[in-house]
Amino acid sequence: MSEIRKHYFLPEYCIIAEERAKRPSDFAGPPEGSEKNPSESCVFCGANEEKTPPATAVYKNGEVFADTGEKRVSNWDFRCFPNLYPALSPPLSPAHSPAHSPASPPPGFPGKGLEVFPGSGFHEIIVESPVHGKKLKDFSDTEISGLMRVYKDRVCHYAAHEKIRYVSLFKNSGKSAGASLDHTHSQLIALPVCPPGLERELKAIRERKKCPYCTLLETEKTSPRLIHENSKFVAFAPYYSIGPFEVWILPKEHISFLGDFSPELLFAFGEILREVLRSYAKVLGNMPYNHMFYQLFETPEYHLNLRLLPRISTTAGFELNTGIYINTVSPEKAASYLRGDE
């Protein structure tokens, strides 16, 4: 099982997950662009279900199933299963392990001043289509809003677990964005701790009278950084952008958690996400990117947002040293390109 280790004196964490370990000679990975591609060998493709762990949830014609034992559901629309190389592993049942929380380090205390927690959690793959090479930008209305429903369901499923404090839902698209397989998929990692960045945000939000996301929405709705808007959402290049063509999508309504989204809101969310991805494709081609959900459950002060970041610049020594990002494209310029002005 992996370990969640705390920084010596800061509220920061790393996950030591040797399940994924290799020998040093294996570290020089394959060069960029050498993703395993041929669809017959792709384990995420429809008809290759046997090559992955049994699914925890399989979506088919709007209904939800699960693989039972060795029998796999076929002809699915979306398929969710545990990552074969998990960063975190499901908590053992209470009968087998004492209840460890971040407040109570496990018996194997690592030394004076050092803190460790068991790497309890969940790491799930969400395959977004059975079809190899299909991209979110080309999803139909039914497909994209279906995916939003899957996102909502899976986040709710893990948020309900008593040991889970945060559910990280994200997509790595392209090798330099961290994807090891080309077939379109997202990932979900459910954590027993709240990430330090979210804690800091929440602290700053609680010190204010009005939700700062609601405030910035007012500004960005009429700013030169606005990119797309529909009845429920706004997509814009944030004034504080950590890289070229970063985009944030915010619901106009103050809402903190995907679990509280109505079907109407899910539909509008899928629509604007697809719109942004189409703009990316027009301006940047097949650029690797990440998208990440920022949301908190049982925390109504928070304002959910989705952030998209094309992987154009390299995070180098300066960014690692300072946490300050150098961005060579102003958000105003990025928004202009993504709106199609030039």
Residues 128-167 that bind a second copy (CB under 8 A): 166
* Residue numbers 216-255 binding a second copy by CB under 8 A: 216, 218-219, 223, 238-242, 244
Q: Residues 159, 165, 166, CA angle at the centre, nearest 5°?
A: 75
* Residue numbers 290-309 binding a second copy by CB under 8 A: 290-294, 307, 309
* Residue numbers 73-102 binding a second copy by CB under 8 A: 87
Question: In angstroms, how far is the first alpha carbon of the chain from the final one?
Answer: 52
Could you tell me which of 165, 171, 197 has the C-alpha nearest to residue 186?
Answer: 171
* Residue numbers 8-47 binding a second copy by CB under 8 A: 8-10, 12-18, 20-22, 24, 27-28, 31-33
Is residue 50 close enough to count as binding a second copy by CB under 8 A? no
The residue type at 272:
I
Q: CA dihedral defined by 16, 18, 19, 24, rounded to 10 degrees?
A: 140
Task: Report in angstroms how near the CB of residue 212 gets to a second copy at its nearest.
Answer: 4
* Residue numbers 312-341 binding a second copy by CB under 8 A: 312, 314-318, 320-331, 333, 337
Q: CB of 331 within 8 A of CB of 226?
A: no
Q: Enumerate the β-bridge partners of residue 261.
A: none
109 DSSP assignment: -
Task: Report in angstroms how near the CB of residue 264 gets to a second copy at its nearest.
Answer: 26
The residue type at 328:
T
Total of chain residues touching a second copy, rule CB under 8 A: 97
Strands of the sheet containing 63-65, edge to edge, are 63-65, 57-60, 78-82, 122-127, 185-191, 166-173, 289-294, 305-310, 247-251, 233-236, 226-229
Q: CB of 50 within 8 A of CB of 72?
A: yes
Task: Report in angstroms how near the CB of residue 47 gets to a second copy at its nearest.
Answer: 27
Binding-site string for a second copy from residue 177 to residue 216, where x marks contact by CB under 8 A and - marks none: xxx-------x-x-x-x-xxxx-xx--xx--x---x--xx
Residue 38 token pair = 């041929």
Element housing 292 (H / E): strand 289-294
The residue type at 210:
K
CB closer to a second copy, 52 vs 279: 279
185 in active site: yes
Task: Report in angstroms how near the CB of residue 324 gets to a second copy at its nearest.
Answer: 5
* Residue numbers 262-291 binding a second copy by CB under 8 A: 283-285, 287, 290-291
Of the residues 185, 228, 291, 303, only one is catalytic, namely 185
CB closer to a second copy, 232 vs 307: 307
Quick one: residue 165, left, alpha or beta (phi over 0 = left, psi -120 to 50 = alpha)?
alpha
**Residue corresponding to tokens 């899957």:** 150
CB closer to a second copy, 151 vs 267: 151
CB closer to a second copy, 110 vs 263: 110
Is residue 65 close enough to count as binding a second copy by CB under 8 A? no
Task: Report in angstroms how near the CB of residue 49 gets to a second copy at its nearest.
Answer: 25
How far is Cα 183 from Cα 40, in angstroms, rounded to an integer? Answer: 12
Task: Report in angstroms how near the CB of residue 297 gets to a second copy at its nearest.
Answer: 15
State the catalytic residues.
185
